[in-house]
Amino acid sequence: MNQDTPGLLPNRNRRRWLIDSGCVAAAGLIGLTRKARATASKLRVGMTPAFLHDQHSLLDEWRDFMAGSLQRPVEFVQRDSYRETMDLLRLEKLEFAWICDYPYLHLKQEVRLLAVPLYEGRPYYRSYLIVRKDNTQVKSIADLAGSVFAYADPYSNTGYLTPRYQIRQLGRDPASFFRKTFFTWSHRKVVEAVASGLAQGGSVDSYIRDTLLQVEPSLALRTRVIWRSPEYGFPPFVSHRSVSDTDYQVMQRHLLDTNKTEAGRRLLARLHLDGFTTGSPALYEGVARMMRAFGED
Amino acid sequence: MRWLFNLSFRHKIPLWTSFLIGFSIFVVGAALMTRAYEVMKSAVVISATNLGHTLANTVAPTLLHDDVWRAFEIVRSPIRGESARTPVEVDAVVVLTKNHKVFVSSDPDTLPMLAEAAALGVDWQQLSAQFGAGAKWPLVLEPKGSMYLYVALPITDNDAQLGHLVLRYAKSVFHPWFIDTIWQGLGIGLLVLAVLIPINWYWGGRMAAPLVDLAQRMGMMPETVPQPLPPDLYPYRDELGQLFQAYDRMVLALRDKAALENEMVKSERLAAIGQLTAGIAHEINNPLAGLITVVDTLKLRRDLDPRALRSLELIDRGLTQIRDTVAALLVQTRVQARPLNQHDLEDIHTLIQPQVSKRRIRLDWSAAMPAELPAPASLVRQILINLLLNAVQAAAEGGHVSLWLGRKDDSESWLSIVVRNDGTLLGDEQLAHLFEPFTSTRAGGHGLGLWVTYQIVTQLDGRIAARNIGDQVEFVVNLPLGDVICTTA
């Protein structure tokens, strides 16, 4: 199986996705009722492995904060891969989601940009190329040719698209550049895979790696960053296009105002974020360029 | 090495038994250790097999889907820390593909992904060589000289063989655990030794003490006859006890023999003296008879002046004294034989009475005899008078003398006479020469009484013996009964 082709998923998943998509189309008529019910009842927010998503207590705190602020029941939906969250969005099983920039561009037709988190005061992050701390030979991705490489997720920009783009820039085929590649389905686990020596190199979200340095330095310090990518727009919050304008604005207002309350700031501190901004699709032009290089729209 | 075998039994028995106890404890300990190792190994294999089956089932889908990270998480799940702490804790888990390449391992540093199993070392070469058809699962491999024990299982999915799961256990973890067991075993062994060794030394010493005693006594043997062993030294009936009894019998026999020899020497000497004195007496008696006759004849003459007569009388008294002395030396047993009767004893009692009274002696008279006994009366009277007067003289003033006369041990053929006095005990030197002539034990005696008694007794084929018994001196005479007709000396 060629893991370097994002569109190709295990057969079962692809089939399910196709069926589900068909269902969505067929259920167009009842979409309104469902939307009405969703609006009246709780808001469903998809959380992706875009951050350290195994911090359950943090998620609970955030959800309670959001529900209290919106005066609405809120449900956080966690999935192990971007793909699953994307599917839930497509199926309108989520009103909002925090997704990676790369899936956002994939889902541009279905979602609207809601807000962009501010990391170190700016809505940007990067991709890091990491190797193990004791590996001093590797200076750039070119030195990793023929090695074992850990990707985060096939729908991750920093954990998949960027390194492949790099390889392509070297004039090599990402499908054959490495001896072996695998997905860990989480940025944190990429760090773990590299630290344990399972993979000689990995590509990871700068926000995750830097946060790890603070919350789990024993793991993070076993890796070394050998290359930093240009800045990309930070993984955004999106809303499905079916979400009403009111809900959209209420949620956007809530996010933008997070750093205006004490509880919000405490929450942001735990998330290692500074706040939210409205952002613009132009932030993601760099990703879109890389996608075009791979023939994706 | 020979000195070890020359050691005394006192040391040798405890030493040998201690050595045997130590050796037994060592052998049993070693056997238990070996067993403990086998048990530990089988515990490891059982635990490994259980873990292996679970892991093989869980990891199979990841092999099918090439999900390296999931497989890594699975194989790493049983690994607790940097290194295993108990023997059943797995050291490394490796998933090999069908082509014997590492699909994933819990320790990517030493067992990297995609490496050929055969390139991982000798252990792995041996292991992958045994993966062929006909292998018995779970495959347990303990390569010679290796630090590890391997347990391998196949990974299958619906009968399709996907690869192999190998669990590696570090034997270095066994060692501290094993050393603990050894220390425990050693502790128990020392405890057992601490209990057994003193018991063993006591028992060995007890066992050896009689033997040592026996050896010492037997070592004295040719020069002196040793004492018999104390009866409580070893009061058991085993071979050792039998040996000691035999020794005691032998010692007694030797003492009897020595006493007999002693007696023989003594009686031979007395016999020689007897012959000599008899010879001399005869030689003196013959001229003496002539001389006495001449003196008697001369004394009858009237023409002798008084001075010559006094000289003749002086010669006559001297010759008579010589004759009496010689007559005493020359014991004559050829006398008119008459059986001993009750009156003879009464006579003797009367005869010695003045002496007894004079010295205020207490006399016990115990003569159990019928009216007559077939023994020569005059000789028995002489023996009795000699012994009794002797005893009365020997006893202290106001002392005690006893006579016992009767059949010896109620026998028909022996008469026994026992005379005791409470005078001074006899010394060894006195006992040795008691019956020789002119050996008097007191002032005033001429030393012929016992000599005469001895001569009479021996000429009657009897026995006479003297000994100290308690604080008394005892003379025992045994005379054969029967024909009263006596022989002469």
- pLDDT 10s digits, B359-385: 899 999 888 877 788 888 888 888 898
Amino acid found at B326: V
Domain end call among B156, B178, B200? B178
Instruction: Dump pLDDT digits (tens) for A52-88.
Output: 655 788 888 999 999 999 988 999 998 888 889 999 9
**What was the pLDDT predicted at A29?**
40
Specify whether B325 is located in the same domain as B361: no
* Inside any domain, residue B127: yes
For chain B, list residues with pLDDT below 50: 485-489
**CB neighbours of A75 closer than 8 A, spacing ≥ 6?**
A42, A43, A44, A45, A63
Specify whether B249 is located in the same domain as B297: yes
**What was the pLDDT predicted at A5?**
41
Specify whether B108 is located in the same domain as B128: yes
Specify whether A66 is located in the same domain as A42: yes
Mean pLDDT of chain A: 85
Specify whether B310 is located in the same domain as B360: no
A196/B69 Cβ within 8 A: no
* Inside any domain, residue A2: no
Specify whether A45 is located in the same domain as A169: no
Which chain B residue has its CA at the smallest distance from A179's CA? B114
Specify whether B473 is located in the same domain as B354: yes
CA distances from B58 to A150, A189, B156, B323, B476 (A): 22, 20, 11, 142, 115
From first CA to last CA, the distance across chain B in angstroms is 70
B72/A193 Cβ within 8 A: yes
Number of structural domains, chain B? 3
Q: What tokens does B269 get?
A: 């000497």
Specify whether A110 is located in the same domain as A16: yes
Specify whether A241 is located in the same domain as A94: yes
* Inside any domain, residue B364: yes
Domain end call among B329, B357, B380? B329
Specify whether A246 is located in the same domain as A107: yes
Specify whether B315 is located in the same domain as B269: yes
* Inside any domain, residue B112: yes
Q: β-strands B139-141, B102-105: how paired? A: unpaired
Number of structural domains, chain A? 2
Lowest mean pLDDT across A188-197, A223-232, B170-179, B306-315: B170-179
Q: Which residues of B touch A1 (CB under 8 A)?
A: 65-66
To the nearest 10 degrees (0 to 180), the angle between helices B239-300 and B449-459 is 110
Over residues A224-245, mean pLDDT: 94
* Inside any domain, residue A201: yes
Specify whether A223 is located in the same domain as A239: no
The residue among B169, B97, B163, B113 whose CA lies nearest residue B105 is: B113
Q: Identify which has the larger pLDDT, A30 or A126.
A: A126
**What was the pLDDT predicted at B484?**
54
- Domain holding A21, by residue range, is 11-123+235-293
**What was the pLDDT predicted at A93?**
92
Between CA B341 and CA B339 the distance in angstroms is 6
Specify whether A58 is located in the same domain as A158: no
Between CA A195 and CA A186 the distance in angstroms is 14
ipTM of the complex: 0.79
**CB neighbours of A126 closer than 8 A, spacing ≥ 6?**
A158, A206, A228, A229, A230, A231, A232
Q: β-strands A148-151, A180-183: how paired? A: parallel
B66/A182 Cβ within 8 A: yes
**What was the pLDDT predicted at B11?**
84
**What was the pLDDT predicted at A12?**
46
**Which ranges constitute the DSSP H helices of B66-149?**
68-76, 122-129
Q: Does B112 touch chain A (CB under 8 A)?
A: yes
**CB neighbours of A230 closer than 8 A, spacing ≥ 6?**
A126, A286
Q: Which of B67, B109, B113 sits opposite A180 (nearest CB)?
A: B113
pLDDT band at A235 (very low <50, low <70, confident <90, very high): very high
Between CA B415 and CA B369 the distance in angstroms is 10
Between CA A49 and CA B352 the distance in angstroms is 146
Specify whether A53 is located in the same domain as A117: yes
Count of pairs with CB atoms under 8 A, one residue in A, one in B: 35
Cβ–Cβ < 8 Å for B405, B368: yes
Task: Reduce the DSSP state of residue A37 to 3 states and report it.
Answer: helix
The residue among B331, B382, B391, B383 whose CA lies nearest residue B356 is: B391
**What was the pLDDT predicted at A144?**
93
Q: Is the dihedral of CA B51, B53, B56, B61 positive or negative?
A: negative
Specify whether A142 is located in the same domain as A118: no
Instruction: Dump pLDDT digits (tens) for B269-308.
Output: 888 888 888 888 888 888 888 888 988 888 888 888 888 8
Over residues A198-207, mean pLDDT: 94
Q: Does B104 touch chain A (CB under 8 A)?
A: yes
pLDDT band at A28 (very low <50, low <70, confident <90, very high): very low
**What was the pLDDT predicted at A37?**
44
Domain end call among A205, A229, A253? A229
Specify whether B371 is located in the same domain as B274: no
* Inside any domain, residue B218: no
Reported as type and span, the H/E element at residue B295 is helix B239-300
- Domain holding B65, by residue range, is 2-178
A197/B68 Cβ within 8 A: no
Q: What is the CATH number of the domain that holds A168?
A: 3.40.190.10
* Inside any domain, residue A3: no
**What was the pLDDT predicted at B286?**
84
Q: What is the CATH number of the domain that holds B124?
A: 3.30.450.20
* Inside any domain, residue B221: no
From first CA to last CA, the distance across chain A in angstroms is 23
A148/B69 Cβ within 8 A: no
Q: How far does the CA of residue B89 sit from the closest CA of chain A (Å)?
A: 20
pLDDT band at A207 (very low <50, low <70, confident <90, very high): very high
* Inside any domain, residue A4: no
Specify whether B281 is located in the same domain as B369: no
Share above pLDDT 70 across residues of chain A, in percent, rounded to a whole number: 84
Residue A92 has pLDDT above 70, yes or no: yes
Specify whether A32 is located in the same domain as A169: no
**CB neighbours of B481 closer than 8 A, spacing ≥ 6?**
B373, B374, B375, B407, B412, B413, B414, B415
* Inside any domain, residue B107: yes
Domain end call among A192, A207, A229? A229
**What was the pLDDT predicted at B333?**
60
Between CA A87 and CA A41 the distance in angstroms is 21
The residue among B419, B489, B484, B420 whose CA lies nearest residue B270 is: B489
* Inside any domain, residue B460: yes
Specify whether A168 is located in the same domain as A100: no
B114/A193 Cβ within 8 A: no
Specify whether B254 is located in the same domain as B163: no
CA distances from B257 to A123, B260, B261, B263, B467 (A): 131, 5, 6, 10, 18
A1/B69 Cβ within 8 A: no
**What was the pLDDT predicted at B345?**
87
Specify whether B169 is located in the same domain as B27: yes
Specify whether B440 is located in the same domain as B301: no
Considering only CB atoms, which residues of chain A are within 8 Å of chain B? Answer: 1, 3, 10, 148, 150, 179-180, 182-185, 189, 193, 196-198
Specify whether B299 is located in the same domain as B368: no
Q: β-strands B148-157, B160-170: how paired? A: antiparallel
Q: Is the dihedral of CA A193, A197, A200, A206 positive or negative?
A: positive
**What was the pLDDT predicted at A80?**
81
Q: How far does the CA of residue A275 sit from the closest CA of chain B (Å)?
A: 34
Specify whether A76 is located in the same domain as A119: yes
Domain end call among A201, A229, A257? A229
* Inside any domain, residue B200: no
Q: How far does the CA of residue B96 sit from the closest CA of chain A (Å)?
A: 15
**What was the pLDDT predicted at B482?**
76
Between CA B212 and CA B16 the distance in angstroms is 17
Q: Identify which has the larger pLDDT, A275 or A28.
A: A275
